[in-house]
Structure 1
Amino acid sequence: MNLESVFETGKSVCDTGSELKVFTGINIVMGCLRYPRIGMYWSSRLRTPLVTEKMTRNRFFQLRNRLKFEIASEIATESKENDQLWKVRPLFDTIREVCLELPRPKFVSVDEQMIPLFGCGSVRQHDPNNPKPLALKNIVVSSSDGLVLDFNIYQGTTTFNPGMLKLGYSAASVQTLSKSLRLGERWC
């Protein structure tokens, strides 16, 4: 985030890591309260002290607009073409690494998880039968109590190796995610 900001504007957008922690915390609070518009957290009527006392509205939007997980000029064109989520891939990879370190229970399941997505993008799926019809389709391995042990965001035909799709979408999902089960290890 800072490197691109300095390159484009000549100024650093964020001086401390603690400000990014506050920004992340504010996003978590917003995810729980879910006002229709972000500006409402700073409005006089709906003011949320957990948000307003930590960061001004203008600073929040400045950080939000500058937030980057990858520097576009450092990513190969081939990677950009093959991975529709290349801009947020480091974030997904970090979360997935933590999921892979969790202990494996005796019984697991592979299922779809719909992650609401209000932005636009080519990976967004439309399911009119879902309460949140526009979402990212996430294929997950989870424990019986719902703990996500591994996941793979669906990106259309590029999600799986071409040879796996001969079996169909469901079989390719199971085959891909079963690799992370580490069958030789001791399970809980």
Structure 2
Amino acid sequence: MGLVQAYSLRALWAEETRYDKVADHMARNRYEKLASHIHFTDNSTVMEEEKKNKLWKIAPWLDGLKTSLTKLPQEEFSAVDEIMIPFKGRSDIKQFMRNKPHKWGFKMWGRAGASGILYEFDVYQGASVTSDDGLSKSSQVVIKMTSNIPLGLNFKVFADNFFSSLPLVKTLQSKRIFYVGTVRVNRLKGLELKSEKELKTDGSRGAFDHAIEVNSGVVAVRWYDNRTVDLLSSYIGVEPVTEVQRYEKKNKRIIKVSCPAIVKEYNKFMGGIDLHDMLTALYRFPLKAKRWYVYIFYYTIHMMVVNAWLRYRKHAQLLQVKPVMKLAVFQARLASQLVLPTVTVGRPRSLSVSPRPTPGSTAQYRRKVPPRETRLDGLYHPQEYGSTRNRCKLNGCDSLTYVKCRKCDSLPYNGRPAYLHFWRF
């Protein structure tokens, strides 16, 4: 449904706009009934204490996803940022964010690697009580999102000025987790930097200044490009200074501007969440529901599809597998595997019939086999002995055998189970 957009959901079953890959696998009324009755917890067994969690209706699903994400191998560089789930209905946790493409919806905190793989997420339910460790509410989000990072292995975390503060950098530094992020001016107490006016007179565009916190070694850098930007880091500073190209509007030409190393590092590794968010929005199916938490459920499905594709792409690059499937092809194959289709092999018995026989037609293909991904997945292919002998399905084998695959037997196999002369799963 995400790859083939329709003007409405029912159009996929309508006679004029029917889409076979959806309509042939489930009736419209059955789909609508299942979608309207889906639940994630038994309302009658939920205690009043559990209902203090505003997400209690979908909490088991979210907890299961978070647990599975902890098993992923972590990247050295990851970024913490916001994710917006589009929603305009009624809900206590709906948020408005002016600068987002979708201004209304559910806000989530997330941490993703530089490759875009999501490692942690948490749906925002409203402001929480400030802890006694001196950290602001926004800084506590970073601490929560980095709870699964292995300690003492010098991992790096990036975030924008909404989260950054000196206490946060020091707290992460005590866990040997290094930090780089932009920071607001009022959070640089004790670190004196040149003002924007002074940087303009020093060298105009490309000028910078830095200061070091004596006790912790945290570096604060102020860089002047079109305007000043302030950054904090616990592992990188100004050096080495490189040059970047900028367009000078006054003289209408390209100029080279000095750029501190901390700026280049931030721009390189900060976009993990934005990349994941962009990929999630590419082929998202436009489903609607009356219950607000179902929107979160649908969105998390897309998040996991993108995660799976990003991991596949990383492994394909390591194994030098070419060509690498695009996200649309990957999503299509994943959907095909979930509905267990069959692949037709060979020409039709009659050339006069169409490749897709009309209802009532007796025309068939020579043989049908499960998709290659199902046959070679290496998962649960137990053998069993049938009561009659049938032709072996292995290419080039004309022998008869009683042995068949119990898993492939459940697939539409042209009326016959998958008989194998030799066991190869």
TM-score normalized by structure 2? 0.34
1:90 deviation in Å?
1.1
Letter in 2 for 1:77: E
1:27 maps to what in 2?
none
1:169 maps to what in 2?
137
2:24 maps to what in 1?
53
- In 1, distance between residues paired with 2:30 and 2:6? 19
Q: Choose the corresponding residue for 2:58, options 65, 69, 88.
A: 88
The correspondence of residues 95-174 of structure 1 with structure 2, limited to 5 A, is: 95-117=65-87, 119-157=89-127, 160=128, 162-163=130-131, 167-174=135-142
1:36 deviation in Å?
4.8
**Which range is displaced more, 122-131 or 92-101?**
122-131
**Which range is displaced more, 112-121 or 62-71?**
112-121
Residue 165 and residue 35 in structure 1: after superposition, are their counterparts in 2 closer, same or farther (change >3 A)?
Answer: farther
- In 1, distance between residues paired with 2:15 and 2:132? 55
1:176 deviation in Å?
1.2
Residue 135 and residue 31 in structure 1: after superposition, are their counterparts in 2 closer, same or farther (change >3 A)?
Answer: farther
Letter in 2 for 1:78: E
Aligned partners of 1:69 and 1:87 also within 8 Å: yes
Query: SS at the partner of 1:151?
Result: strand
Residue 34 and residue 75 in structure 1: after superposition, are their counterparts in 2 closer, same or farther (change >3 A)?
Answer: farther
Residue 79 and residue 182 in structure 1: after superposition, are their counterparts in 2 closer, same or farther (change >3 A)?
Answer: same
Aligned partners of 1:165 and 1:172 also within 8 Å: no
Residue 118 and residue 35 in structure 1: after superposition, are their counterparts in 2 closer, same or farther (change >3 A)?
Answer: farther
User: Residue deviations 1:121-166, cap 9 Å, x none?
Assistant: 2222222432222222111111001100011111112xx4541796
Residue 162 and residue 46 in structure 1: after superposition, are their counterparts in 2 closer, same or farther (change >3 A)?
Answer: farther
2:149 maps to what in 1?
181
Radius of gyration: which is bigger? 2
User: Residue deviations 1:36-95, cap 9 Å, x none?
Assistant: 532222122322212110111111111111111100011111211x21111111111111
**Which range is displaced more, 56-65 or 116-125?**
116-125
Letter in 2 for 1:170: S
- In 2, distance between residues paired with 1:164 and 1:39? 53
Residue 36 and residue 181 in structure 1: after superposition, are their counterparts in 2 closer, same or farther (change >3 A)?
Answer: farther
1:181 deviation in Å?
1.0
Aligned residues: 155
Structure (1/2) with the larger helix percentage: 1
- In 2, distance between residues paired with 1:32 and 1:107? 31
Structure 2 portions without partners, runs of 5+:
156-425
1:66 maps to what in 2?
37
Residue 173 and residue 164 in structure 1: after superposition, are their counterparts in 2 closer, same or farther (change >3 A)?
Answer: farther
Query: SS at the partner of 1:173?
Result: helix
- In 1, distance between residues paired with 2:133 and 2:10? 44
- In 2, distance between residues paired with 1:34 and 1:126? 27
Aligned partners of 1:109 and 1:142 also within 8 Å: yes
2:212 maps to what in 1?
none
Identity of aligned residues (%): 28
1:185 deviation in Å?
6.5
TM-score normalized by structure 1? 0.72
Higher relative contact order (CA 8 A, sep 6+): 1
Q: Which runs of 4+ in 1 moved over 4 A?
A: 184-187
Structure 1 portions without partners, runs of 5+:
1-29
Letter in 1 for 2:151: L
- In 1, distance between residues paired with 2:57 and 2:104? 20
Letter in 2 for 1:122: D
Task: Tell me the C-alpha RMSD between the 2 structures.
Answer: 2.4
Residue 37 and residue 118 in structure 1: after superposition, are their counterparts in 2 closer, same or farther (change >3 A)?
Answer: farther
**Which range is displaced more, 106-115 or 30-39?**
30-39
Letter in 2 for 1:41: L
Aligned partners of 1:108 and 1:141 also within 8 Å: yes
Residue 48 and residue 128 in structure 1: after superposition, are their counterparts in 2 closer, same or farther (change >3 A)?
Answer: farther
1:115 deviation in Å?
1.9
Query: SS at the partner of 2:146?
Result: helix
Aligned partners of 2:86 and 2:105 also within 8 Å: yes
